[in-house]
Structure 1
Amino acid sequence: MLPSTSNYLLKNGRVPQSLLEMEFLASSADSTVATTTENDFCAVDLEIAGGAIAQIIPTNTEPLSQLPDIPVVDLQSGLVFPCFVDMHAHLDKGQIWERSPNPDGTFAGAIEAARADAQKHWNAEDVYRRMQFGLKCSYAHGTKAIRTHIDSAGEQGTLSLAVFEALQAEWGDRLILQAVSLVSLDYFLTPAGEKLADKIAQIGGILGGVAYMNPDLDKQLDRVFSLAEERGLNLDFHTDETDDPESTTLQEVAKTAIRHKFSGQIICGHCCSLAVQPPDLVTETLTLVKQANIGIVSLPMCNLYLQDRESGRTPRWRGVTLLHELKAAGIPVTVASDNCRDPFYGFGDHDVLEVFNMSVRIAHLDRHWEDWPRTVTTTPADLMGLPNVGRIGVGLPADLILFKARTFSELLSRSQRDRTVLRQGKEIDTTLPDYRELDDLLPEDGRG
C-alpha cells in the first residue's frame, strides 16, 4: 500500500535501462548506477511529486537535490515499468467466444463465426458493453494507451465507430484510445470507402484495412494512400496474415509508400508470411520496409493460435514474423494483444504483460534481453505519436507498474496479479471485471 500523500519516494527499484529517458542516463554517467550484466537493469530511487516523477536517483547515492521529509516505500529491488501500450487490439470483437466459438480453430472459421455473431448480436449496447469490459481489463492490468481496429463497413461500421467515440470520451481521463478502420482494401474503391475516410478524419483516427493478394491490389493501395494523403491521416494495415510464401502484401505496401513519398506513419501488422519466404525475398522486403519508414507489430498469441492449424495435425511453425531480423535492420518492432476471447483467439485478458511473456517464449527474446521491453512500451508509444508515454523520465507522469519480481525470470514465471499500478502517482484499483457482467449478452445455452 502506497502512502496517501502526493509526495513520496520509491526506493530500491529496478528499471530496465532501455525504458529510462536518456537524460537520466547522461546525468548519471559519473555516478554509480548498479546494473546487472544479463538483465541490464538500473537500480534507482524515484521521487514522486504532484503526480509526476520529480527525480530519478541512482540507489545508494546522494539525491540530486535535497529531498524533503517524505514517506519512503522500499521496493526491495522490485521491477518498475512504465504503463503499457497496446497498439493492436480488436475491442469490438472481444468477449464473444462463449456465444460464437471458432468451430475448427482456423482463420476461415474465425471469419465466419465473427461475421455471424455481428449479424445476430452487434447492436449498440452489445458492442458498448463488450468494448467497455475490455477497457476495464486493460486499465486494471496497467495499460495506458490502446489502438483498436474497428470493423467499419456499412451500417455496422457507423454504429461501432459511434460506440468507440463514446467510450473514448468516457475513458479519456484513464486511457488514450485510437481507432483504426478495418475493411478489405477494395472497399476504398467505392463511394462508401471515401465516406469512411472522411469519418476517420473526423474522429482523428487512422485509416486502415486488410491487404491481400489480388489483381487490383496496386489500385487499392494507391487509393487508400491517396485518401490518407488528402486528409492527413496515418495508415495501419493487416498484411500477410498467412503462411503462404507467395503473399507479399507487406512489400507492396512499402513500394506504394515509396512511390507516393508518403510522409505519415505507416504500421503493418502480422506479416506472418515473411517467416516462410526465401532469404533473398526477405532481404528485399526489409530494405523496402526500412526505406518506407514502416513500423511492424507482431501478434504472437493470435497467430500462434490460428496459423498452420489443421485438424489432427501438429502445427509446424509458430506464426510469428521475423522480429529479430526486422529489429536488426533498424525497423521499429512491437508486439500487441490482437484479439481477445473471440473466434480469432479464444483466450486472453488484455494483459500486455502476458503478451510480452508469450512473445519472449515464442520468439526467443530472452537471449539477450537487450531493449525488447520497449516492444510493449516505448516503441508502440512512439509509433502512436505519444512521446510522453511508455517511458520513465523526470517530469513525466508517474504512470508506473510496480512488480515484486526482481528479475525477468521472476517477472515472467508468474502472472504478477499482485502488481501495483500507479496513475499520476496514485495507486488504482486493479480488480478485474467479473465475466458475469456479460452473462445477459449470452443465449441461455451459451451459444449463438
Structure 2
Amino acid sequence: MTSLNPDSPALLVRRGRIAGPDGFSPVDLRLSEARIAAIAPAGTLAPEPGETVLEADDGIVLPAFVDLHTHLDKGHITPRQPNPDGSFMGALTAVSADRVANWTAADVEARMEFALRCAYAHGTAAIRTHLDSAPPQHGISWPVFARMRERWAGRIELQATALCGPDHLLDTALVEALAQTAKAHGGSLGGAISVFDNAGEAIANLIDAAGRHGLDLDLHIDESGDSASRSLSVLADRVIETGFSGRVLAGHCCSLAVLAGEDAKATIARVAEAGIAVVSLPMCNLYLQDRLPGRTPRWRGVTLLRELKAAGVAVSLASDNTRDPFYAYGDLDMLEVLRESVRIGHLDHPADRLADWFSAIAAVPARTGGFAYGGTLATSAPADLVVVRARTPGELFSRPQADRTVIRAGAVISARLPDYRDLDPILGVTS
C-alpha cells in the first residue's frame, strides 16, 4: 500500500476518496510539515523528489477521529467488577463498588493509559472524558487526568467533564466545588439527570455555577426509556430563560425516542432554539436500554438522530463506556462507533446522504467540544488522517478495517493495540 521513506519530510497519499455532503470524491493529498499542503483530483499530483508515496488505491481517507463522550476513568474494570445482570442499576452498583475498593491514582492512571493507547492506534486525535467527581474521587481522578493530558499532548488532545449523580447536584456547595475543580483543570461541568423530580433545581444549580465560572456544560440527559424522563426539555428551557452563553452538550437523550410525535417535535425545536448540541452513544444505549431479565428488548435505545439533525442540532456519535459495567465491550474505536451507529440508527438510507454522517465522528464533535483539532480534511489543516482499504461504505462497514493506516502530523504511526494482558496486574488477573 505504501512506499515509505522515513527520512522524507513529505508524504503523498495518492488516489484516495474523501467523504463530503454529496458522497465521496477521488483525490490526491500532499502532506508536508505536519499539514495538508494540497488536495487535488486523483492522479494529478506527481511525487516530488524524495517524497514518500502512499497508494490509497481508491481507499477511503478520513480525518483522524474525535471521541466526544467517553469514561476513561471507568474503562476496563469489567474483568474484576462485571455488571451482575446487565441492567443500568446493576452498572451503577458495580461501578460504585469498584470505585470505593480500587480507584487509586495508580489504578485510574494505568487504565487511562491503556485506553488512550487503544484510541491512538485506532486513529483518534481528540477525546473528552467524563470523570466521576463525587468526593473524595475528584481529588484522585482530576490530578491523574492532568498528568495524562500532559503526557499525551501532541498525540491525543484531552478534555474532561466533572460528573456527579442527580442528588449531588442539589448540593450547591458541592456543585461549586466541582465547578472550581473543573475550572482549575480547564474542564467543563456536568452531571447525570434522567427521571428526577428535582431536575429543574439540579439543572439550575449547574447553569448558575457554570455561568459564574465561565464553564461549558456537558450533561448525561434522559438515559432512560421512560417517557416521564423530560430533563432535556427542562435543560433547553433553563438555557433559554437564563441566556446561558456557554456551550451546552446533552448526551444520550434516549427517552426522546419514546415520546409521542408532537412532544418529541416540540422538545427538538426547543433544543435547537437553545443551541444545545447532542451526542449519541448508540452502542452503550443498545446494551443497557430496555433490558429486563428473560425478555428480548423491544427498542434500540438510540435517540432521534435524524430528527435532531434535520432541525439543525449538531449531532455527534461517540464511544461512551468501554469494558466496564455500563458497556461490557468496545475499544474506543470510532470506526466501530460509526459502523454500529449506521446499523442501529438506519443511517445507510438514503444512500447518497450517508457520507454526511461521517462528520459526526470528526468535524462536528471537534466544533462542538471546542477542540484545537478541527477534524477536517482541507488545505492547511493538520495532516492527521486514517486511510483504509475499503472503497465504499459497504466495504467499510462490512469489516473492522484492522489494516488501516493511521497518519499523524504527516507521518504513518507505528502504534499497535495494547495486549489486554498488560492490565492483569491492575485487575488482579492471574493465569
Q: TM-score range by the shorter chain?
A: over 0.9
Cα distance in 2 for partners of 1:212, 1:320 equals: 15
Is 1:297 matched with 2:299? no
**Is 1:185–1:221's contact at 8 Å kept on the other side of the alignment?**
no
State which of 56, 60, 66 in structure 2 corresponds to 1:85. 66
Deviation string 1:124-164 (CA, Å, 9 cap, x unpaired) is: 11111011110000000000000000000101121011111
Once the two structures are overlaid, the 10-residue window that deviates more, 271-280 or 177-186, is 177-186
Deviation string 1:399-423 (CA, Å, 9 cap, x unpaired) is: 0001111111111111111111011
State which of 17, 26, 37 in structure 2 corresponds to 1:43. 26
Equivalent residues in 2 for 1:71-82 (5 A)? 71-82=52-63
Is 1:54 matched with 2:37? yes
Is 1:310 matched with 2:292? yes
TM-score, normalisation: structure 2: 0.95
- CA offset at residue 345 of structure 1? 0.6
Is 1:142 matched with 2:145? no
Equivalent residues in 2 for 1:241-390 (5 A)? 241-368=223-350, 369-386=354-371, 388-390=373-375
- CA offset at residue 72 of structure 1? 3.2
Once the two structures are overlaid, the 10-residue window that deviates more, 262-271 or 8-17, is 8-17
Deviation string 1:255-293 (CA, Å, 9 cap, x unpaired) is: 000011011110000000011110111111011100100
Give the RMSD, CA atoms, in angstroms: 1.5
Deviation string 1:37-67 (CA, Å, 9 cap, x unpaired) is: xx71111111111121111011244x5xx97
State which of 155, 160, 167 in structure 2 corresponds to 1:174. 155
Secondary structure at the counterpart of residue 155 of structure 1? coil
- CA offset at residue 71 of structure 1? 4.0
Regions of 4+ moved over 4 Å:
none
Amino-acid identity (%): 46
TM-score, normalisation: structure 1: 0.92
Is 1:412 matched with 2:403? no
Cα distance in 1 for partners of 2:325, 2:27 equals: 44
Secondary structure at the counterpart of residue 296 of structure 2? coil
Cα distance in 2 for partners of 1:399, 1:90 equals: 24
**Is 2:211–2:244's contact at 8 Å kept on the other side of the alignment?**
yes
Secondary structure at the counterpart of residue 402 of structure 2? coil
Cα distance in 1 for partners of 2:332, 2:52 equals: 33
Letter in 2 for 1:49: S
Deviation string 1:311-352 (CA, Å, 9 cap, x unpaired) is: 111100000000011111111111100000000111111111
Letter in 2 for 1:57: A
Cα distance in 1 for partners of 2:11, 2:194 equals: 53
Secondary structure at the counterpart of residue 257 of structure 1? helix
Is 1:227 matched with 2:226? no
**Is 2:23–2:355's contact at 8 Å kept on the other side of the alignment?**
yes
Secondary structure at the counterpart of residue 223 of structure 1? helix
Letter in 2 for 1:425: G
Deviation string 1:201-249 (CA, Å, 9 cap, x unpaired) is: 1111010001133333222211110111111100000011010011100
Once the two structures are overlaid, the 10-residue window that deviates more, 409-418 or 207-216, is 207-216
**Is 1:185–1:224's contact at 8 Å kept on the other side of the alignment?**
no
Give the 3 Å change call, closer, same or farther, for CA 71–218 of structure 1 in structure 2: closer
Once the two structures are overlaid, the 10-residue window that deviates more, 52-61 or 69-78, is 69-78
Give the 3 Å change call, closer, same or farther, for CA 387–201 of structure 1 in structure 2: closer
- CA offset at residue 11 of structure 1? 1.0
Q: Across the two proteins, how many residue pairs are aligned to each other?
A: 423
**Is 2:424–2:430's contact at 8 Å kept on the other side of the alignment?**
no
Give the 3 Å change call, closer, same or farther, for CA 54–243 of structure 1 in structure 2: same
Cα distance in 1 for partners of 2:252, 2:281 equals: 6
Letter in 2 for 1:46: L
Is 1:15 matched with 2:18? yes
Cα distance in 1 for partners of 2:235, 2:417 equals: 39
Which stretches in structure 1 are left out of the alignment for 5+ residues? 19-38
Cα distance in 2 for partners of 1:8, 1:221 equals: 49
Indicate the residue corresponding to 2:112 in structure 1. Answer: 131
- CA offset at residue 370 of structure 1? 4.3
Deviation string 1:149-200 (CA, Å, 9 cap, x unpaired) is: 0000101121011111110111112110000010024424232221111110
- CA offset at residue 74 of structure 1? 2.1
